[in-house]
Amino acid sequence: MGRKLLTEHINVEGIDTFEVYRKHGGYRSVEKALKTMTPDEVVEEVKKSGLRGRGGAGFPTGMKWSFLAKPEGVPRYLVCNADESEPGTFKDRQLMSKLPHLLIEGMITSSYALGANTSYIYIRGELLYVLRILEKAIAEAYANGFLGKNILGSGYDLDLHVHPGGGAYICGEETALLESLEGKRGNPRNKPPFPAVQGLYARPTVVNNVESIAAIPVIVNMTGDEYAKIGVGRSTGTKLISACGHLNKPGIYEIELGVPVEEFIYSDEYCGGIWKGRELKAVVAGGSSVPILPKELILKTAAGENRLMTYESLSDGGFITGTMLGSGGFIAMDETTCIVRNTWNFSRFYHHESCGQCSPCREGTGWLEKVLHRLEYGHGHMEDIDLLVSVAKQIEGNTICPLGEAAAWPVAAAVRHFRDEFEWHVKHPQEATRPGAVYPGKAVLA
């Protein structure tokens, strides 16, 4: 059993209250930081920890913090991205609803490090009930002197607010999130300028994922150097993995980075294998936008090495034979899964969630969905398969924000690894569209 840094006390009765949380060592990082460290020293610890953004991109958090512009007399902001909505990812919801004070503690310590006196948690609108939990916990933190004026007599002031979204995946993109927080449509901004220079209300802003912020108290308490010892190589610390799909035990698992994928899927400590005694067919390892991999490539790299749950190992082989750890949304599919249908489903998602601002994404996501729909329902042509790849390529890299890539990658990867199944849909439309149809596999057809 690996170490649990974030979720050690998640099942303690009453841990969502200030009192119980405090009893279990809560808010120690605030005391340590505000009383014994300068803000820059906190940033330094985070840098040393090697913590990488847990929202999906994996960018080093400490480095992101060091980019924050600090012009004299201009307020700056820390905004927590709690707009969790990447299909397959549901870790932040659990963390916030069960351990609200951990996030709040992380926000206080991080805001202190960044010199922010007002911070926001932007939570997706669907999670209004979690917003209430957070607001209650924030009220407790105020009442106990951890928020508000002159926290713990340190002279440092911080106000923390929770802000709900309204139902838009795109607001997980940091500049769309800031637009949304300003009361506007969630249209991502052109960059530069980056939020670190002009973010919320055109002021310097850092946007961090819930899990990244929640790791800050751990890092401050144990020191960055100690945190960096956990994990493998540049994948330091622990990561929450949201496991879902055709698994015996779907759920949230906090793993030390470096667990072999095979162990994660099949061991009883984690997902307990594939449901109904079936075979694994494919895995989407880091949320719906990362490339899907067939069983043989998710368990082992193309070079035949065991694939590990780390940023590096999962991306071994690039996009030809590899994928990404992304947000840790681990979706397993059993042998009966129709890859065409699943790809269509993901494409429909990105089509639905495109903000419509820039032309390749607005038009391209709809095009992909329509072609995939045709293929899935037996009206496809052979040339449609290459068309999908071509349209995906026309979107990728040419859009304002990464939703373009998120929409393009799953389609390109599905065709790359499962072309024969797409072809089967074209050649045998009647068979393929029969309810409950299962692709018999290349070997059987041959």
Among positions 345-404, residues that touch other proteins (CB under 8 A) are 345-346, 349, 351-360, 362-367, 370-371, 374, 387, 390, 394, 397-400
Least Cβ distance, residue 87 to other proteins (angstroms):
4
Rounded (5°) CA angle 268-271-273: 80
Phi-psi region of 145 (alpha: psi -120 to 50; beta: other; left: phi over 0): left
Least Cβ distance, residue 150 to other proteins (angstroms):
19
Least Cβ distance, residue 39 to other proteins (angstroms):
23
- Report d(CA 370, CA 195) in Å as an integer: 35
| Binding flag, residue 244, other proteins (CB under 8 A) | yes
| Binding flag, residue 205, other proteins (CB under 8 A) | no
Which residues are within 8 A (CB) of 384 and not within 5 positions of it... i.e. 6 or more apart?
Answer: 371, 374, 375, 426
- Going by the DSSP 8-state scheme, the letter that residue 346 receives in this structure is H
| Binding flag, residue 251, other proteins (CB under 8 A) | yes
Chain Cα centroid distance, residue 227? 21
Least Cβ distance, residue 113 to other proteins (angstroms):
22
Cβ nearer to other proteins, comparing 262 with 384: 384
The interface mask with other proteins, positions 12-51, x = CB under 8 A, is ----------------------------------------
- Report d(CA 317, CA 140) in Å as an integer: 48
Cβ nearer to other proteins, comparing 2 with 402: 402
Cβ nearer to other proteins, comparing 216 with 333: 333
- Report d(CA 295, CA 284) in Å as an integer: 10
The interface mask with other proteins, positions 59-98, x = CB under 8 A, is -------------------------xxxxxxx-xx-----
Amino acid, single-letter form, for residue 172: G
Give the tokens for residue 125. 């609108």
Least Cβ distance, residue 305 to other proteins (angstroms):
28
DSSP H stretches of helix in 354-402: 359-376, 382-395
Cβ nearer to other proteins, comparing 12 with 387: 387
Binding-site member from 167, 318, 440, 441 for other proteins (CB under 8 A): 167
Cβ nearer to other proteins, comparing 168 with 230: 168
Cβ nearer to other proteins, comparing 170 with 230: 170
Least Cβ distance, residue 167 to other proteins (angstroms):
3
Least Cβ distance, residue 270 to other proteins (angstroms):
12
60 upstream amide cis, omega within 30 of 0? no
**Number of other residues whose CB lies within 10 A of the CB of residue 277:** 8
- List the interface residues with other proteins, window 271-290 (CB under 8 A): 284, 288
Binding-site member from 342, 411, 414, 421 for other proteins (CB under 8 A): 342
Element (H, E) at 179: helix 174-181
Binding-site member from 192, 277, 304, 436 for other proteins (CB under 8 A): 192
- List the interface residues with other proteins, window 290-309 (CB under 8 A): none
Pick the stretch among 2-10, 27-35, 42-50, 240-248 that binds other proteins (CB under 8 A). 240-248
Structure-token match 């637009």, residue found: 179
Radius of gyration over alpha carbons of the chain, in Å?
A: 22
The interface mask with other proteins, positions 399-438, x = CB under 8 A, is xx--------------------------------------
Which residues are within 8 A (CB) of 183 and not within 5 positions of it... i.e. 6 or more apart?
Answer: none
**Do 43 and 113 touch, CB atoms closer than 8 A?**
yes
- List the interface residues with other proteins, window 117-136 (CB under 8 A): 120, 124-129, 132-133, 135-136
Pick the stretch among 145-153, 305-313, 330-338, 417-425 that binds other proteins (CB under 8 A). 330-338
Number of residues that bind other proteins (CB under 8 A): 85
| Binding flag, residue 211, other proteins (CB under 8 A) | no
- Report d(CA 150, CA 145) in Å as an integer: 8
| Binding flag, residue 318, other proteins (CB under 8 A) | no
Residue 152's nearest CA partner among 202, 184, 120, 112 is 112
Which residues are within 8 A (CB) of 66 and not within 5 positions of it... i.e. 6 or more apart?
Answer: 43, 47
Cβ nearer to other proteins, comparing 301 with 345: 345
| SS3 of residue 243 by DSSP | strand
Least Cβ distance, residue 244 to other proteins (angstroms):
4
**Do 337 and 247 touch, CB atoms closer than 8 A?**
no
Least Cβ distance, residue 225 to other proteins (angstroms):
30
**Do 161 and 147 touch, CB atoms closer than 8 A?**
no
DSSP H stretches of helix in 37-173: 39-49, 61-66, 91-98, 100-114, 128-143
